[in-house]
A = this chain, B = another copy of it.
Amino acid sequence: MSLDAVLARLDSDLPAATERLLDLLRIPSISTDPAYKAECDRAADWLVKDLQSLGVEAEKRPTPGHPMVVGHVDGPKGSGAPHLLFYGHYDVQPVDPLDLWDRDPFDPAVEETDKGQLIRGRGAADDKGQLMTFLEACRAWKAVHGEMPCRITFFLEGEEESGSPSLVPFMKENAEELTSDIALICDTGLFESSVPAITTMLRGLLGEDFTITGPSRDLHSGMYGGIAMNPIRVLAKIIAGLHDETGRITLPGFYDGVPELSEEILSQWQGLGFDHEAFLGDVGLKAPAGEDGRLPLEMIWSRPTCDVNGIWGGYTGDGFKTVLPSKASAKISFRLVGTQEPAAIRESFRAYVQDNLPEGFTVEYRTEKGSPASQMSIEDPAFEKARQALSDEWPRAAAYIGCGGSIPIAGYFKTILGMDSMLIGFGKDDDQIHSPNEKYDMESFHKGMRSWARVLDALARG
């Protein structure tokens, strides 16, 4: 009965909730680019104010990078309900290439389309729209009941899209304050439009940002071409050699700690009916490019990968310049699974690069980040309660799934705070997160907040 009132409140308040989200989306909180530092700060202030309006004791907490937003609110006294921690991030990805956007990424709007209403703008899905689903559920609960269903700690980060440099130190310094019974993380997706999901398997991430230097200055390719080795050629050879003909990654020791899936999980995933041709076809691709002999879902969820995220060197402007450049650079990232160790893989990668440098060439690395994969213990009954609550809201039952992306926070909650995490989110495959024209379906936003109301209700009943 009381849940129904909260759901009804969410339905009637949807237009106002949408306006609140659009307001937050207007803040260009791009964390990776120092030019947007003040905007990240502004997004944190916005959230502090919004949490305070829910009766949460919230504040902006400084870090050497962008601030954390931390808030606390009590639930009913003596209810025996668990203490929950909610995590989301208010920072967003850069917007380039800007000319591929159909609108200003920071002038968001609700668009009417034949697939229904979409909220368009940078951060709509990743992660501002998602984190607001939880805040809206709390707002409605508070409006109906005058208080929260249980004690909740809010923990909102501003550096998720830029490697979270301040996260681990902050969690260690504030471990006691942050530790709760279980963490709720809203930064993942539905399995498909009608199938909600709890993500229980997350790939880790190791990034290498590096520059190879050959000649001490840019050379004229007419004068030096043929006798001077070109650093772009060296870099191309390094990248080309990272995969063999079967799609396996060639670094020695790379597959140490990569588990094979159990027959049970394999058959469960086969049963999900994942249409990889449609998945690839949506983005203009035809054939899967991963390791030979693997299921497409394995390639995405449970196999490690290596991708080049960026490359640059030499003359890249209009026209032609016959330069033989001094330097060539790339950003390469590895998605990790099982117990693959980021440090060991970084060492193997750097040894491989060194082996491929011609005499006199040097390499310089700019990044040191790395996080292992993580796997939730779904034996905790809270998982089954949440799965049931999600199944009540959506047309089809909720599934436990893997995730190709890295959400290192879940690993940190486990290792630093000793907490399990429930990764529940409402994003869709076509949300274009990290790409131009990012959007969040109004259905995701609306059913997302309704889902959280149901999950809060189920968990609070203890």
Contacts and interface: CB of A to CB of B under 8 A. Distances in A.
Nearest to A243: B233
Contact of A316 (B280, B300, B310, B435): B310
Nearest to A214: B285
Contacts of A291: 226
A96 interface: yes
Nearest to A163: B320
A299 B222 CA distance: 11
Contact of A324 (B203, B214, B309, B314): B309
Contact of A236 (B239, B333, B335): B239
Contact of A225 (B367, B404, B436): B404
Interface string A259-299: 00000000000000000100110011111111100001001
A228 interface: yes
A444 interface: no
Interface stretch (A375-383, A426-434, A452-460): A426-434
A242 B314 CA distance: 18
B236 A322 contact: no
Contacts of A78: none
Nearest to A205: B322
Contacts of A236: 235-237, 239-240, 308, 311
Contact of A222 (B215, B228, B405, B436): B405
Interface residues of A, number: 102
Which of A223, A311, A335: most chain B CB closer than 10 A? A311
A359 interface: yes
B325 A310 contact: yes
A294 to B, nearest CB: 9
A272 to B, nearest CB: 15
A436 B217 contact: yes
Nearest to A301: B226
B276 A227 contact: yes
Contacts of A310: 232, 313-316, 321, 323, 325
Identical copies of this chain, number: 2
A227 B288 contact: yes
Nearest to A126: B220
Contacts of A241: 240
A462 B315 CA distance: 46
Contacts of A317: 32-33, 94, 96
Given A284-B360, A285-B214, A360-B287, A220 B433 contact: yes
Contacts of A335: 221-222, 225-226
A226 B32 contact: no
Given A315-B331, A316-B311, A319-B163, A358 B405 contact: no
A216 interface: yes
Contacts of A299: 226-227
A313 B314 contact: no
Given A93-B321, A219-B283, A286-B358, 7 more contacts: A222-B405, A223-B429, A225-B305, A232-B239, A235-B236, A286-B360, A309-B320
12 contacts: A215-B285, A216-B283, A219-B283, A222-B404, A222-B406, A223-B404, A224-B404, A225-B300, A226-B303, A233-B242, A310-B314, A322-B406
